[in-house]
């Protein structure tokens, strides 16, 4: 079902006109309310009057994660504190977290975007929907929660943690939908296996997966193990939270709520906009946000905008899956390596669980890559009961990795359950090189 | 003609051996012989024990990667060259031994080996009347 056909199926001309009007308005708004942006625009000799159509967006300055950190906590907030009704903070691994304040209107738009996503997945009033993103400072939990309430399904605010209890609730309540990270979905599937909860005892039908990049192989595995259809849900707290974009039933790219978040793809090195269809860094401008609007925010996510119309009837532009992040990309012996590439290979071998760890090091000035994988309990058989046989299996995986990554990697097979499962964003890399 | 051996894939790390041994203890399963094929990162812990099937189930439930391997257990002459004579019969017939170890059972030397040529090994053992230990005999000793 299409939640808001007026906006989701708008003609391209109308959309661009709407985006142009909103862009002008938001630039005027930040110019008068955020000294950071006023200074930047003045340095570039720009005034809001220079921004007339959406094509003028390329004149505007970029915003980076560092800008958000440098202006901690409220430096980029445009609305007065009295108008802010909620504050989230993004998980920062270094330095200050990013603080994002939302006005009542922001929360309402966010809920609308989330409702569009859920409707697109086929979630409606009759569903019992469990939100298993973390509730708290992270935008995932409450963001998804508001959307589920808006579409009128029964929300089960399961959050993360206590996975065994959650698994039993999924069975006992007949929960039909779940929103969580894809790695948590796999963790849940493992937990169900351990508890002896089988696929025919549960009624899961829809999964809204996001907050970390995932692959088609991972989707296949989750769908198979939980018996649901898994949809991508993309978002980031700097822009809004989950539901900046969402997949439809075609599962071919995620539709961007571009009446609120305008996407661009740029070359991460030259910062020049790239032609449609090319892969580069995704940049968003919030067109309607009041609390903390951002102009041309560099997401560091690498993807492309898909050309052509979607058979589902929505006209809002689609983004491809995230190919990696310009900042988690590893350069090993001069070759770009994305952990997601390793994941796609690991998932092709049934002997291994869908968890892995990349350990990068530099020994005698030579970069080394080790990939740790975990043997699946049920695939350890009598034929594998000698180090020779295990080494043979390691060799097989190493050969596959080499063909995908173009560099050789040492493979280390670990016992079941010995690679740490992450319940939030997966951490898959240990880089021991001191490059910075 | 073969007996069941437990093969357990364990990390080469403090505490993993004890975990296995404690589980065996709790399940009241007696070990008769064991050996480890170790590498820098992991080891294959091989155990001959009472009730191997139950042991396998219990260890699996504890999340361990465990398999049952069929191995041959031949009785040796307790004198120098006893093992050599047995292995010569096998080698001459073209039976490749994947791994081998030995232990004493009631004063008798027992040679345990695994091979991928099980049928050929059976034939060699039968043709030469090599004395072997059965699962039943083993169970009777504990």
Instruction: Verify that B11 and B31 share a domain, yes or no.
Output: yes
Question: Is the backbone peptide bond immediately before A433 cis, with ω within 30 degrees of 0?
Answer: no
Which residue of chain A comes nearest to B100, CA vs CA? A386
**B63 part of contact set with chain A, CB < 8 Å:** yes
A143 with A100: CB under 8 angstroms?
no
Domain-ending residue, one of B19, B43, B68: B68
**A387 part of contact set with chain B, CB < 8 Å:** yes
Instruction: Verify that B48 and B102 share a domain, yes or no.
Output: no
Under an 8 A CB cutoff, do B42 and A382 touch?
A: no
Domain of residue B82 covers: 71-138
Instruction: Verify that B78 and B102 share a domain, yes or no.
Output: yes
Using an 8 Å CB-CB cutoff, list chain A residues near B10: 415
Using an 8 Å CB-CB cutoff, list chain B residues near A390: 9, 39, 42, 44
Q: Give the residue from B37, B57, B65 with the most A CB atoms within 10 Å of its CB, the best one to mutate.
A: B65
Which residue of chain A comes nearest to B38, CA vs CA? A387
Under an 8 A CB cutoff, do B42 and A384 touch?
A: no
Instruction: Verify that B28 and B86 share a domain, yes or no.
Output: no
Task: Give, in order, the Cα–Cα distances in Å from A424 to each of A159, A290, B103.
Answer: 11, 28, 50
CATH number at residue B15: 3.30.2130.10
Under 8 Å CB pairs connecting chains A and B tally to: 59
ipTM associated with this complex: 0.86
Instruction: Verify that B20 and B50 share a domain, yes or no.
Output: yes
DSSP character string of A275-305 = PTT--EEEEEEESS-SSS--SSEEEEEEE-E
What's the structural domain count of chain B?
A: 2
Instruction: Verify that B56 and B92 share a domain, yes or no.
Output: no
**B10 part of contact set with chain A, CB < 8 Å:** yes
Which of A391, A377, A397, A389 is closest to B116 using CA atoms?
A: A389
Q: pLDDT 10s digit of each residue in chain A, 436 long?
A: 999 999 999 999 999 999 999 999 999 999 999 999 999 999 999 999 999 999 999 999 999 988 998 999 999 999 999 999 999 987 543 456 789 999 999 999 999 999 999 999 999 999 999 999 989 888 999 999 999 999 999 999 999 889 999 999 999 999 999 999 887 898 899 899 999 999 999 999 999 998 876 878 889 999 999 999 999 999 999 999 999 999 999 999 999 999 999 999 999 889 999 998 999 999 999 999 999 999 999 998 889 999 889 999 999 999 999 887 776 667 787 666 878 889 889 999 999 998 899 999 988 767 899 999 999 999 999 999 999 999 999 999 999 999 888 789 999 999 998 998 765 555 788 888 755 4
Domain-ending residue, one of B22, B43, B68: B68
Burial class (CB in 10 A: 0-12, 13-18, 19+), A225: middle
Strands annotated E in A279-422: 280-286, 297-303, 305-306, 318-319, 324-325, 330-332, 335-337, 352-363, 366-375, 410-414
Which of A434, A426, A312, A290 is closest to A361 using CA atoms?
A: A434
DSSP, collapsed to helix, strand or coil, labels residue B21 as helix
Beta carbons within 8 Å of A31's beta carbon, 6+ residues apart: A37, A38, A41, A47, A48
Using an 8 Å CB-CB cutoff, list chain B residues near A418: 11
Instruction: Verify that B26 and B58 share a domain, yes or no.
Output: yes
Task: Give, in order, the Cα–Cα distances in Å from A342 to each of A345, A380, A400.
Answer: 5, 22, 10
**B14 part of contact set with chain A, CB < 8 Å:** no
Domain-ending residue, one of B68, B93, B119: B68
B6 with B70: CB under 8 angstroms?
no
């Amino acid at each position: 079902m299409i939640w808001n056909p007026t906006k989701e199926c708008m003609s391209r001309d109308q959309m661009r006109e709407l985006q142009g009007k909103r862009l002008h308005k938001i630039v005027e708004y930040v110019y008068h309310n955020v000294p950071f942006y006023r200074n930047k625009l003045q340095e570039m000799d720009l005034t809001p009057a220079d921004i007339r159509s959406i094509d003028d967006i390329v004149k505007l300055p970029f915003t980076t994660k560092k800008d958000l950190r440098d202006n901690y906590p409220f430096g980029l907030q445009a609305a007065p504190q009295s108008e802010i009704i909620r504050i989230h903070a993004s998980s920062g691994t270094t330095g200050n977290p990013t603080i994002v304040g939302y006005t009542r209107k922001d929360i309402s738009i966010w809920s609308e975007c989330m409702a569009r996503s859920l409707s697109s997945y086929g979630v409606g009033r009759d569903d019992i929907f469990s939100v298993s993103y973390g509730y708290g400072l992270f935008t995932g939990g409450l963001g998804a929660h508001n959307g589920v309430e808006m579409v009128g399904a029964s929300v089960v605010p399961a959050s993360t943690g206590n996975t065994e209890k959650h698994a039993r609730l999924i069975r006992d309540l007949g929960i039909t939908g779940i929103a969580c990270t894809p790695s948590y979905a796999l963790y849940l599937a493992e937990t169900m296996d351990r508890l002896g909860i089988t696929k025919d005892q549960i009624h899961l039908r829809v999964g809204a997966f996001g907050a970390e990049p995932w692959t088609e192989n991972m989707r296949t595995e989750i769908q198979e193990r939980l018996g649901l259809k898994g949809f991508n849900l993309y978002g980031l707290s700097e822009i809004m939270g989950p539901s900046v974009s969402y997949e439809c039933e075609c599962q071919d790219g995620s539709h961007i709520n571009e009446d609120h978040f305008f996407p661009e793809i740029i070359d991460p090195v030259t910062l020049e906009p790239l032609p449609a269809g090319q892969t580069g860094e995704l940049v968003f401008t919030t067109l309607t946000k009041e609390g903390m609007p951002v102009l041309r925010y560099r997401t560091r996510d690498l993807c492309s905008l898909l050309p052509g119309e979607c058979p589902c009837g929505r006209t809002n532009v689609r983004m491809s899956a995230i190919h990696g992040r310009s900042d988690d990309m590893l350069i090993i012996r001069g070759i770009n390596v994305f952990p997601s590439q390793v994941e796609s290979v690991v998932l092709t071998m049934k002997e291994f669980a869908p968890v892995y760890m990349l350990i990068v090091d530099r020994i005698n000035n030579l970069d080394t890559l080790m990939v740790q994988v975990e043997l699946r309990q049920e695939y350890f058989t009598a034929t594998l009961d000698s180090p020779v046989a295990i080494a043979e299996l390691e060799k097989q995986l190493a050969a596959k990795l080499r063909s995908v990554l173009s560099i050789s990697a040492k493979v280390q097979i670990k016992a079941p359950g010995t690679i740490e499962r992450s319940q939030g964003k997966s951490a898959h890399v240990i880089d021991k090189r001191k490059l910075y | 003609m073969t007996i069941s051996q437990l093969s357990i894939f364990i990390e080469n790390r403090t505490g993993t051996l004890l975990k296995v041994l404690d589980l065996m203890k709790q399940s009241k399963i007696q070990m008769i012989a064991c050996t480890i094929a170790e590498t820098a990162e992991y080891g294959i812990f091989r155990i001959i024990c009472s009730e191997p099937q139950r042991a396998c189930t219990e260890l699996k439930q504890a999340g361990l990667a465990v398999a049952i391997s069929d191995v041959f257990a031949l009785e040796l002459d307790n004198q120098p060259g006893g093992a050599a004579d047995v292995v010569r019969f096998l080698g001459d017939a073209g039976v490749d031994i994947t791994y081998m170890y030995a232990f004493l059972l009631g004063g008798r030397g027992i040679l345990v080996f695994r091979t991928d040529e099980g049928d050929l090994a059976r034939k060699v053992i039968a043709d030469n009347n090599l004395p072997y230990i059965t699962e039943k005999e083993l169970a009777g000793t504990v």
